Structure 1
Amino acid sequence: MAVFRSGVLVLTSPLSALSRQIVPILTSASRIVEDTLYVHLQPGLCLSGPAQPKPTYIPATKEVYNLVTKLYSSANTCSHLDVRVLLTNIRNRSKSPQSPCSVQNLSHPPEVVLTDFHTSDGGQYNPVKQRLERYATSCYSCRPNLMSVLLYPDYEVADESEISEDPSASQALESYSDAVVGGTFDGLHNAHKILLSASCLLTESRLLIGLSDGDLLESKTLKELIQPYKQRMDKLCQFLVDVKPSLQYEVVPLFDPFGPSITDPALMCIVVSEETWKGGNAVNKKRLENQLLELAVHEIQLVKDPQHTDIEEEKISSSSIRIRLLGTILQPPKKNPHIPSHPYVIGLTGGSGSGKTSIAKRLEKLGAALIDSDKLGHETYSPGGPAYQQVIEEFGSGIVNEDGTINRKVLGSRVFADKEQLKRLTDIVWPAIVTLAKKQMAEAAAQDKAVCVMDAAVLLEAGWEEMVHEVWTAIIPDQEAVTRIMNRDGVSEDAARKRLVNQLSNSERVAKSNVVLCTVWEPEITQQQVQKAWNLLQERIKQSKL
């Protein structure tokens, strides 16, 4: 069967039956759609009659809410799929759904339409398939040459007599003209989608979304890997307009825990997660202080992540997703025709205390040729080295020891407090290091080494990324770096912090990196990251040769 990038799944079974069928249905759909899958609840939709099928409308009830939650929770088993449950035909108590005559413009127009509709009809020109395709093109902005697939043979139909009825299932959800929800929304995972979908079901007119930024991101795990504000906002808006285009959305940057939730008099409800309900209470306290009405607080339960590791959260979370990015390609390498294809050169960098050196040694054990730029720097200074005489001529004989070697401490005291002096030194030394590094790369090629790692703290400052195929960066939180520097070098906290200030920040390094690693956890975790990065690298090298 062909595989399509995007599709829409029209579910016609009763809602009570769908609850038991979700996992097999999504599993079947995941074999056909590889990117975006829209799911539309259309219980009772008939595709076998002579008349053109018409959309069905359902009330926003507890049953619908629970089913949408289960759909997103179950979608975690199909990690490659971006599942989006369309809410266009769900009526809350005071708001009509999208006009049945309008065609919904989806951000990823479906290439295939799937359904769980059960029919005994068969044959190549199955009339159900034809009606399904006509129905889909009348409802959604589909791709030309839309294909259709009936999923019912791929899973067992639930016996409705075995389905237990929940007396409270038909209870209508409370709805509000204006509601507010906040969060980082990094990566827009399925737990975010549950939170946002609940907000849409509860909102009649306007949904205000506070998108965390600035200082609110400082305490986040791997904050350097959080997507930029605009990227998060664009993905958020795209999702919301896809699932409920009839609502008015207002996205605002959030620089403190409250934002407009404590000043907007039109708001009636705040949607919070199980772990942030205290924040909802704090908002109401502030609103009372501002002489505004309290908000109804609607709490969403956390969704457990069955795939979480020991260093990840038990719930589905953005921090866990960022942890899983470590060792993977964050942005594709730039092709530079001036760099020899063999060996494949990795430029490894990182700030002081980042664990860069330990990563370099692990890569060497895996088979990479290691170029230590710090050692090469020492070599350029040594008597007879390529920079030895020029450095003495530039900075005077006062930097020379009695044995003829350059006193690096004396030289350092002169240049590191003076940017102009430092540049004079690096203009001499860095080109010499490049010459020695290229020589070692040539030696690695002669030894038929497939991978060469250039360990260089100043890789980006020196512009050496132009001589490597990929840039890998080791990062750790600043406070952890300060602690390591103090313990390693016996310096004060103030001295350690000044050292970090004089370097590129983690964010600046990450912005120019293809792969990021983090050594803040136990050595075994670092080893796992390096092994993962190494394995993926081997795949890229193999693909580049095809």
Structure 2
Amino acid sequence: MALIKSVHSTTRSFLDFATKVYVESSKIKNFPDTRILLRNTGGRSSSHDVPLLHSVQEIYTDSSLPFADVTSYLKNWIFVPSEPVMHQLPYSLMANSWSQESVLQSPSITDVLNTYHHVVLGGTFDRLHVGHKVLLMESAMRANAFVTVGVTDGHMNHKKTLPELLQPCGNRIQDVYEFLHDVKPWVAHKDIIVPITDPFGPSITEADMGCIVVSQETRKGGAAVNKRRLEKDLNELDIHEIQIISDDHHGAHEEDKISSSSQRMRLLGSLLCPPEPDPKLPKVPYVIGLTGGIASGKTSVCRRLEKLGAGVIDCDKLGHLAYLPGTDAFQDVVKEFGTDIVGDDGHINRKALGAKVFADKSRLTVLNQIVWPAIARKARELISQYANEGRPVCILDAAVLLEAHWDDFTHEIWSCIIPKKEAMQRIMDRDKLSEDTALQRIESQMSNEDRVQRSHVVLCTYWQPEYTQQQCCHFDIF
């Protein structure tokens, strides 16, 4: 936790300085999560017995005073539970800032910010980054009593990049609350940090609001809010716009601004949560269960992992072998679905069988109960074979890995995801199916969201092949 002293007046100069601190500190590798405390800024002073929700580990200050004097000063307006480590701010953060004396000077009238009883803003607030902090900080600086925050939920998130990797709405609301509580506790009220499923939320219902804080890209949204407020005979809100903060280190497929979308993209191919060791599983080979919906790009990922040295077990191919003529599964499938699914060559015609089962989930369940156990037996045999060969890593490529409970004999679960619209286009192009049929195939499977919730690693083949390769190369297990 990094803390910076605030000043008694709400000034543009301090806002510019604080913004600079957030932006510059975000560029420093391993710099602690930063909070610029506004507890003695504007309106009401805060009692020292209101503790921070995050422990104070470090204090970064521009003060040249001795450590004891700084901590004594801080304890007058925040609760410091233990002796933190104090640092002088890096020079890059202090350029064009004040001296200790100038902080105490009275600000000019033109430098004082307009403040409001009640300020409103909205956003996704996924994994709070510097852009979010600046947005929330300015809202807190301009508010004397309340900050209402709308946090997007439901269909509002469907068009986001990699919405499956969004934190749950409750987690995002809690992060916003904790940030506001730390920097200016009397404007943080849990009951007015709320999920929203439309672009307006409470911004068009509360009469005492005076200001909406927006980013450059959501300014039109602020204007739309005012239009709706006027239609409801409510006052127009002053609109204060935050500048977009550029990302100097964005990747080729990422946005050139600091964004949650880029942060989610950087999670691809990384370990989202550590797998729990299972003493029943042999250590070699290390089995990765790779799953994903139709047209998600699992095959291309398998090829890349195979080139890195992994053995691959294709459960789709094992499915073909599971009901070859002469097997028990063949007899059971024909008995259940009719002799018209058998082709002229004596084998089961997969397209004819697929037409029957994809249109009726109950029929698909019956087929799976026949075929899945046979596939699992063959997969285990191949894993044992790789173990005898000394192959260190094995990929179990299975679209229905989770539904069939084959993850019981894997060490990790990896999922390939792709936007539904892209998956539909791939299916129509590849299989020459209609849009309705393509959608039916997708919706007959487990959703991306459900797969991601149970995955240790998530991959996405939506972008260029080299980006997929980059995701596959994150690990040293090969």
TM-score (normalised: structure 2): 0.91
Q: What secondary structure, in the 3-state scheme, does the structure 2 residue paired with 1:177 have?
A: strand
Name the counterpart of 1:207.
Answer: 147
Q: Which runs of 5+ in 2 are unaligned?
A: none
Q: Which of 44, 56, 60 does residue 96 from structure 1 map onto?
A: 44
Name the counterpart of 2:206.
Answer: 264
Q: What secondary structure, in the 3-state scheme, does the structure 2 residue paired with 1:509 have?
A: helix
Distance change in 2, residues 1:342/1:161 (3 Å):
closer
Aligned-pair CA distance for 1:149: 3.9
Name the counterpart of 2:215.
Answer: 273
Q: Which of 68, 73, 77 does residue 27 from structure 2 map onto?
A: 77
Aligned-pair CA distance for 1:389: 4.1
Name the counterpart of 1:490.
Answer: 432
Q: What secondary structure, in the 3-state scheme, does the structure 2 residue paired with 1:276 have?
A: helix
Q: Distance in 2 between matches of 1:352 and 1:488?
A: 11
Q: Which of 25, 38, 49 does residue 2 from structure 2 map onto?
A: 38
Residues 246-283 of structure 1 deviation map (CA, whole Å, 9 limit, x = unaligned): 22431122111112212211111111111111111111
Name the counterpart of 2:117.
Answer: 177
Distance change in 2, residues 1:231/1:319 (3 Å):
same
Contact 1:61 1:169 in 2 (8 A): no
Q: Distance in 2 between matches of 1:75 and 1:491?
A: 52
* Residue 297 (structure 1) aligned with residue 214 (structure 2): no
Name the counterpart of 2:280.
Answer: 338
Contact 1:364 1:370 in 2 (8 A): yes
Aligned-pair CA distance for 1:159: 10
Q: Distance in 2 between matches of 1:89 and 1:83?
A: 17
Q: Amino acid of the residue matched to residue 184 of structure 1?
A: T
Residues 419-440 of structure 1 deviation map (CA, whole Å, 9 limit, x = unaligned): 3433232222111111111111
Runs of 4 or more off by more than 6 Å in structure 1?
A: 152-162, 167-170
What are the within-5 Å matches in structure 2 for residues 527-542 of structure 1? Answer: 527-532=469-474, 534-535=475-476, 537=477
Aligned-pair CA distance for 1:512: 1.2
What are the within-5 Å matches in structure 2 for residues 107-506 of structure 1? Answer: 107-113=53-59, 115-118=61-64, 128-134=66-72, 139-144=77-82, 146-151=83-88, 171-249=111-189, 250-385=192-327, 387-392=329-334, 394-395=336-337, 399-401=341-343, 403-506=345-448
Q: What secondary structure, in the 3-state scheme, does the structure 1 residue paired with 2:113 have?
A: coil
TM-score (normalised: structure 1): 0.80
Q: What secondary structure, in the 3-state scheme, does the structure 2 residue paired with 1:90 have?
A: coil
Distance change in 2, residues 1:112/1:270 (3 Å):
closer
Q: Which of 56, 59, 62 does residue 9 from structure 2 map onto?
A: 59
Q: Distance in 1 between matches of 2:257 and 2:73?
A: 38
Distance change in 2, residues 1:143/1:344 (3 Å):
farther
Q: Distance in 2 between matches of 1:491 and 1:357?
A: 20
Q: Distance in 1 between matches of 2:16 and 2:154?
A: 34
Contact 1:103 1:138 in 2 (8 A): no
Residues 343-378 of structure 1 deviation map (CA, whole Å, 9 limit, x = unaligned): 111111111111111001110111111010001111
Q: What secondary structure, in the 3-state scheme, does the structure 1 residue paired with 2:246 have?
A: coil
Residues 399-427 of structure 1 deviation map (CA, whole Å, 9 limit, x = unaligned): 44454433333433444434343323222
Q: Distance in 2 between matches of 1:313 and 1:156?
A: 25
Contact 2:289 2:401 in 1 (8 A): yes
Contact 1:39 1:84 in 2 (8 A): yes
Q: Amino acid of the residue matched to residue 377 of structure 1?
A: G
Q: What secondary structure, in the 3-state scheme, does the structure 1 residue paired with 2:111 have?
A: coil
Distance change in 2, residues 1:370/1:157 (3 Å):
closer
Aligned-pair CA distance for 1:225: 1.0
Q: Amino acid of the residue matched to residue 478 of structure 1?
A: K
Q: Amino acid of the residue matched to residue 129 of structure 2?
A: H
Q: Distance in 1 between matches of 2:453 and 2:94?
A: 50
Distance change in 2, residues 1:152/1:363 (3 Å):
closer
The 10-residue stretch of structure 1 (388-397 or 307-316) with the greater mean CA deviation from structure 2: 388-397
Q: What secondary structure, in the 3-state scheme, does the structure 2 residue paired with 1:181 have?
A: strand
Q: Which runs of 5+ in 1 are unaligned?
A: 1-36, 43-56, 120-127, 539-546
Residues 28-60 of structure 1 deviation map (CA, whole Å, 9 limit, x = unaligned): xxxxxxxxx232225xxxxxxxxxxxxxx4311
Aligned-pair CA distance for 1:384: 4.5
Distance change in 2, residues 1:259/1:156 (3 Å):
closer
Distance change in 2, residues 1:293/1:503 (3 Å):
same
Q: Distance in 1 between matches of 2:214 and 2:328?
A: 63
Distance change in 2, residues 1:432/1:169 (3 Å):
farther
Q: What secondary structure, in the 3-state scheme, does the structure 2 residue paired with 1:246 have?
A: helix
Q: Distance in 1 between matches of 2:405 and 2:97?
A: 67
Residues 138-197 of structure 1 deviation map (CA, whole Å, 9 limit, x = unaligned): 6544454x25445489999979999xx9x9796100011111111111111110000000
Q: Distance in 2 between matches of 1:230 and 1:445?
A: 44
What is the aligned residue count?
A: 469
Q: Distance in 2 between matches of 1:415 and 1:476?
A: 23
Contact 1:109 1:141 in 2 (8 A): no
The 10-residue stretch of structure 1 (481-490 or 425-434) with the greater mean CA deviation from structure 2: 425-434
Name the counterpart of 2:52.
Answer: 106
Name the counterpart of 1:511.
Answer: 453
Residues 433-483 of structure 1 deviation map (CA, whole Å, 9 limit, x = unaligned): 111111111111122222111110111111112211111111111111110
Name the counterpart of 1:54.
Answer: none
Distance change in 2, residues 1:151/1:177 (3 Å):
closer
Q: Distance in 1 between matches of 2:307 and 2:215?
A: 45
Aligned-pair CA distance for 1:337: 2.1
Residues 268-302 of structure 1 deviation map (CA, whole Å, 9 limit, x = unaligned): 11111111111111111111111111111111111
